[in-house]
Amino acid sequence: MSKQDKFLSFPLRLPQELDRLFDQLIHKPWGFSGELQGWNPSIDLYETPDEFVLEADLPGVKGEDVKVEVEGNEIILQGRRSSERKQTVGRVHYQERQAGAFMRRMALPESVDKDKIHADFKDGVLRVILPKTAKKGKQP
């Protein structure tokens, strides 16, 4: 390898070397690795006059693998997405889709009626309805 080849290859490797050093200095002492573990689904949360609506994109997740719980003043979404490859022979050249367990924990507003929360799971979208408590002076 000529002197010029070494010079040209150094800037191209710098980002990988910095990532490796950062991983060793920051993540490893705390027991974390630089690799992503699991995944977190994207969520939307919006409000109507009568309720809050939480929607989570859960492509590839089976309904029986999703759990919605209320714990104290928090709502917890959790579940698991399996990695299902159609092809079993060959090698992977690129992979962005992640599998594994997920958990999202969010604080609930005081105005949510926790006893009336319900969820629906259809076409890979979890929809959680968080009804608001009846306002004083409002007739049912």
Per-residue pLDDT of 62-115, as tens digits, reads 999 999 999 988 899 999 888 766 666 777 776 677 778 888 888 988 899 999
H-helix or E-strand containing 55? Answer: strand 51-57
Full-model pTM: 0.64
Per-residue pLDDT of 14-44, as tens digits, reads 666 666 666 666 555 444 444 445 578 889 9
- CA distances to 21, 50, 56, 65, 101 from 104, rounded to whole Å, are 30, 24, 10, 14, 10
Pick the CATH number of 43-83+99-131 from 2.40.10.340, 1.10.286.10, 2.115.10.20, 2.60.40.790: 2.60.40.790
Positions of CATH 2.60.40.790 in the chain: 43-83+99-131
The per-residue pLDDT for 70 is: 92
The per-residue pLDDT for 45 is: 92
The per-residue pLDDT for 29 is: 46
